């Protein structure tokens, strides 16, 4: 079993990575605002072809709002998980993991998973936005980029969930 300090350090590292990634995404949007044409492709069909257009202001505004939404959403989940009563926590082997002697460790683990999933989700959105920027600068499509990134995101999410359930099984020596 990992020590509480190790788990808290991992949580802090992941939280910092998440915050830096969010700041990077906001900086990227700011920089690209000055580089994009006044009208940009903002939506793409299944073949990767642009089928909707918007002003660069609207495009960047939506991107910034989405980024801020992710930042607030994952931070809020991290904050909320320690505030809700145990009865509202849906966790495998909840009684074991929320016992007083493991509670801090459990919350640190959940927080780590929250920020890791936040990084994964923000990364997926970043890859999708790269497709939009690429098209707006080159007028060429990258139809496989969306599908490839979606498949990778789903595979990583499944892997993430499997790891989450393994992390919260009752240790064999306790059973």
- Residue 1 confidence (pLDDT) above 80: no
Contacts of residue 29, defined as CB under 8 A and 6 or more positions apart, other chains included, come to 60, 63, 64, 67
| Residue 174 is assigned to a structural domain of this protein | no
Q: pTM for this structure?
A: 0.84
| Residue 175 is assigned to a structural domain of this protein | no
| Residue 172 is assigned to a structural domain of this protein | no
* Nearest-5° Cα angle at 82, 81 to 88: 55
Query: Which pLDDT score, from 0 to 100, does residue 174 have?
Result: 60
* Across 34-56, average pLDDT: 88
Query: Which pLDDT score, from 0 to 100, does residue 167 have?
Result: 85
In the block, which residue shows the tokens 């919260």? 168
* Number of domains the chain contains: 1
- Burial label, 121 (beta-carbon count in 10 A; 0-12, 13-18, 19+): middle
Query: Which residues make beta-bridge pairs with 52?
Result: 43
Query: Which residues make beta-bridge pairs with 40?
Result: 54
**CA dist 94 → 72, 85, 88 (Å):** 26, 12, 10
pLDDT-derived band at 173 (thresholds 50, 70, 90) equals low
* Across 39-65, average pLDDT: 89
Counting other chains too, the contacts that 44-51 makes at CB distance below 8 Å and 24 or more residues apart are 44/131, 44/132, 44/135, 44/141, 44/146, 46/143, 47/141, 47/143, 48/131, 48/141, 48/142, 48/143, 48/144, 48/145, 48/146, 49/141, 49/143, 50/135, 50/141
**CA dist 16 → 10, 12, 21, 23, 106 (Å):** 10, 6, 8, 10, 19
* Across 18-30, average pLDDT: 96
Q: By the 8 A CB rule, do 53 and 42 touch? A: yes
Give residue-wise pLDDT tens across range 113-158. Answer: 999 999 999 999 898 888 889 889 988 876 677 888 899 999 999 9
Give residue-wise pLDDT tens across range 60-109. Answer: 999 999 999 999 999 999 899 888 888 888 888 888 888 998 888 888 88
Query: Which pLDDT score, from 0 to 100, does residue 171 have?
Result: 76
- Residue 175 confidence (pLDDT) above 70: no
Query: Which pLDDT score, from 0 to 100, does residue 145 have?
Result: 77
- Write out the residue range of the structural domain in which residue 36 sits: 4-167
Query: Which pLDDT score, from 0 to 100, does residue 18 have?
Result: 96
| Residue 173 is assigned to a structural domain of this protein | no
* Across 32-61, average pLDDT: 90
Give residue-wise pLDDT tens across range 153-165. Answer: 999 999 989 988 8
- Residue 2 confidence (pLDDT) above 80: no
Phi, psi of 102, rounded to the nearest 5 degrees: -115, 0
Q: By the 8 A CB rule, do 70 and 22 touch? A: yes
């Amino acid at each position: 079993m990992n020590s509480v300090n190790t788990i808290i350090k991992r949580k802090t590292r992941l939280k910092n990575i998440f915050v830096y990634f969010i700041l990077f995404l906001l900086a990227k949007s700011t920089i690209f605002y000055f580089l994009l044409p006044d009208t940009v492709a903002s939506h793409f069909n299944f073949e990767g072809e642009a089928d909707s257009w918007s002003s660069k202001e609207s495009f960047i505004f939506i991107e910034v709002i989405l980024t801020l939404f992710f930042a607030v959403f994952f931070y809020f989940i991290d904050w909320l998980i320690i505030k809700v009563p145990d009865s509202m926590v849906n966790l495998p082997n909840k009684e074991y993991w929320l016992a007083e002697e493991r509670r801090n460790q459990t919350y640190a683990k959940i927080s780590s998973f929250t920020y890791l999933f936040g990084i994964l989700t923000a990364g997926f959105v970043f890859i999708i936005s790269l497709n939009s920027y690429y098209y707006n600068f080159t007028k060429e499509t990258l139809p496989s980029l969306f599908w490839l990134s979606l498949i990778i995101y789903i595979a990583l999410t499944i892997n993430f969930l499997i790891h989450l359930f393994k992390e919260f099984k009752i240790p064999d020596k306790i059973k």
